[in-house]
Structures are given as structure tokens and as C-alpha cells.
């Protein structure tokens, strides 16, 4: 996998006149943007004598959490895989690789159902409050997994503009140092390094639903101020160098 790939090339690049000197410079630009989306992750767990009741416990717990968090902020849920495991007594000595009857000391005593859940919300200021509420409602190990920008197109444009400005500043300084002046742009390319484009690492966020009207017990409000997200761009520009 290449560490860098060109994503923009100046259209109709100008062919320099024969004998024209050129100068190639690199520029970088970074802009900071406050995140507008928070991602929260947690697990659900249900225990019961029967598999149906274990799954039903997970479903009931999920519904109570969804209703509660939706009353505070608009959210979108993504459910992970549902796993169902039988539970046997402590005296069951299983020989892995061999089939055993689920009887006697290895009789199934109950079932444990688990499911991972991811919540996305545009109400970043309420992210920590939602984590606290999910924990109260028996969501297992809730945490804020990430902050991001839902649509970073404007941030990327601003970063590219900063990179072009930086490249021109370097070119002008080099031209002055050689007693020359800067001419036209011959070519320009925008190069990204892995991790610069967060939109390549995730699918577009689905549409958020309006919060239902649900009464819940007074929740603990936890203020949170996430750090700005950096969007970076780099460009390579070739200028004509005039005497």
C-alpha cells in the first residue's frame, strides 16, 4: 500500500517555455474544527434459565436504554452480533475436541446473551451524560469511543488553501534568495497521507431520528469539552522562476 497518493492535479497544467527555470516547493496546511459527532460504545448482557428469556432480557434492556438516551439527545444505534452461550455447572469437566452430553454435571443451567451496541449522536456536549445514563441502565462498560466531524469537506478545503499559501510563501522566499521572481504555476498536486481523511475510515452517518417523549429519572449531567480535530493537507507546487 502506498504511503501517499495524489488526489488533485491542476487542470490544464502549463507547459513551461524552453529554457525556463522552475522551482518545486511543498506546502502543508492544518485547520482545527470542533467535532460535531460523538460515538459511544457499550455491551448488553442478559442471563436466564432459557435461551429465549436471555435474549428477551437483552431486548428489554436495549429498549430501556434507547428510550432513555433518545429523550436527552438525537441518537442513531448500530447493533452488533448477538451471541448466546450455555452455562454449565462448576463440576462439568469438558474435554475440548470431544462431544459431550448436556446431562449430569454438564447439564445446561442457563444461558447468557450478549450484544455490542454503538450509539452516534450529534449532541457532542451530552456524550458523557449519555455514558453515565447507559451505565445506570445496566449497559456494560459504556464509553465515548471517538469524536469526529460528520462532514469534513469544508475543513479539507480550508486545509488545502492553507497548504497552497504555505507553498507560495516558501517559493517566494527561495526566489528572493536567488535574486529571481516568481512566475506562473506550472503544476500543482495535493497529496494525502494515511489518516488525513477520516471520511475514508467510516461510512456516512445515517439520518438521526427525533427524540421520543419519554420520562426518565433525573440523570447526572456530565459536561464535556472535546479537543478540536485536526484536518491536514499537503501540496506540491511547481512555479516558473523569472530572472
**Residue 20 CA to its chain's centroid (Å):** 47
pLDDT tens, the chain, 243 aa long: 333 334 444 444 555 666 678 999 999 999 999 999 999 999 999 999 999 999 999 999 999 999 999 999 999 999 999 999 999 888 887 666 566 667 778 888 999 999 999 999 999 999 999 999 999 999 999 999 999 998 888 999 999 999 999 999 999 999 999 899 999 999 999 865 444 443 333 333 444 444 444 455 667 788 888 999 999 999 999 999 988
Roughly how many angstroms between the first and final C-alpha of the chain, as a whole number?
Answer: 42
Sole residue written with cell 469511543: 145
Spatial separation of the C-alpha atoms in residues 182 and 168, rounded to whole Å = 9
Spatial separation of the C-alpha atoms in residues 97 and 87, rounded to whole Å = 18
Provide the 8-state DSSP code for 100. -
Provide the 8-state DSSP code for 75. E
Question: What pLDDT, on a 0 to 100 scale, did the predictor assign at position 203?
Answer: 37
Question: What pLDDT, on a 0 to 100 scale, did the predictor assign at position 9?
Answer: 42
Q: Which fold has domain 5-35+150-202+220-242?
A: Translation Initiation Factor IF3 (3.30.110)
Q: In what order do the strands lie in the sheet with 140-148?
A: 75-88, 108-121, 37-48, 140-148
Residue 42 contacts by C-beta under 8 Å, 6 or more apart in sequence?
116, 117, 119, 131, 134, 135, 139, 140, 141, 142, 143
Question: What pLDDT, on a 0 to 100 scale, did the predictor assign at position 93?
Answer: 75
- Yes or no: domain 37-148 corresponds to CATH 3.30.70.2970: yes
Spatial separation of the C-alpha atoms in residues 158 and 75, rounded to whole Å = 29
All CATH 3.30.70.2970 domain ranges of the chain, comma separated, are 37-148
Is this structure's pTM higher than 0.75?
Answer: no
Question: What pLDDT, on a 0 to 100 scale, did the predictor assign at position 214?
Answer: 47
Provide the 8-state DSSP code for 74. -
Amino acid at each position: 500500500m502506498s504511503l501517499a497518493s495524489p488526489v488533485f492535479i491542476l487542470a490544464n497544467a502549463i507547459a513551461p517555455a524552453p529554457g525556463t527555470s522552475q522551482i518545486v516547493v511543498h506546502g502543508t496546511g492544518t485547520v482545527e474544527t470542533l467535532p460535531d459527532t460523538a460515538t459511544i460504545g457499550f455491551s448488553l448482557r442478559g442471563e436466564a434459565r432459557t435461551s429465549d428469556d436471555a435474549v428477551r432480557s437483552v431486548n428489554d434492556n436495549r429498549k430501556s436504554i434507547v428510550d432513555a438516551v433518545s429523550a436527552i439527545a438525537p441518537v442513531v444505534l448500530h447493533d452488533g452480533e448477538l451471541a448466546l452461550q450455555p452455562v454449565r455447572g462448576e463440576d462439568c469437566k469438558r474435554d475440548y475436541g470431544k462431544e459431550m452430553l448436556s446431562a449430569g454435571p454438564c447439564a445446561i443451567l442457563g444461558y447468557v446473551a450478549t450484544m455490542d451496541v454503538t450509539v452516534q449522536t450529534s449532541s457532542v456536549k451530552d456524550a458523557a451524560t449519555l455514558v453515565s445514563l447507559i451505565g445506570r441502565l445496566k449497559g456494560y462498560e459504556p464509553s465515548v469511543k471517538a469524536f469526529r466531524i460528520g462532514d469534513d469537506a469544508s475543513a479539507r478545503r480550508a486545509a488545502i488553501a492553507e497548504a497552497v499559501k504555505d507553498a507560495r510563501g516558501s517559493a517566494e522566499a527561495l526566489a528572493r534568495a536567488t535574486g529571481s521572481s516568481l512566475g506562473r504555476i506550472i503544476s500543482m498536486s495535493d497529496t494525502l497521507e494515511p489518516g488525513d481523511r477520516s471520511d475514508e475510515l467510516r461510512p456516512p452517518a445515517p439520518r438521526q431520528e427525533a427524540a421520543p417523549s419519554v420520562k426518565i429519572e433525573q440523570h447526572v449531567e456530565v459536561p464535556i469539552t472535546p479537543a478540536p480535530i485536526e484536518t491536514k493537507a499537503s501540496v506540491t507546487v511547481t512555479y516558473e522562476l523569472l530572472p
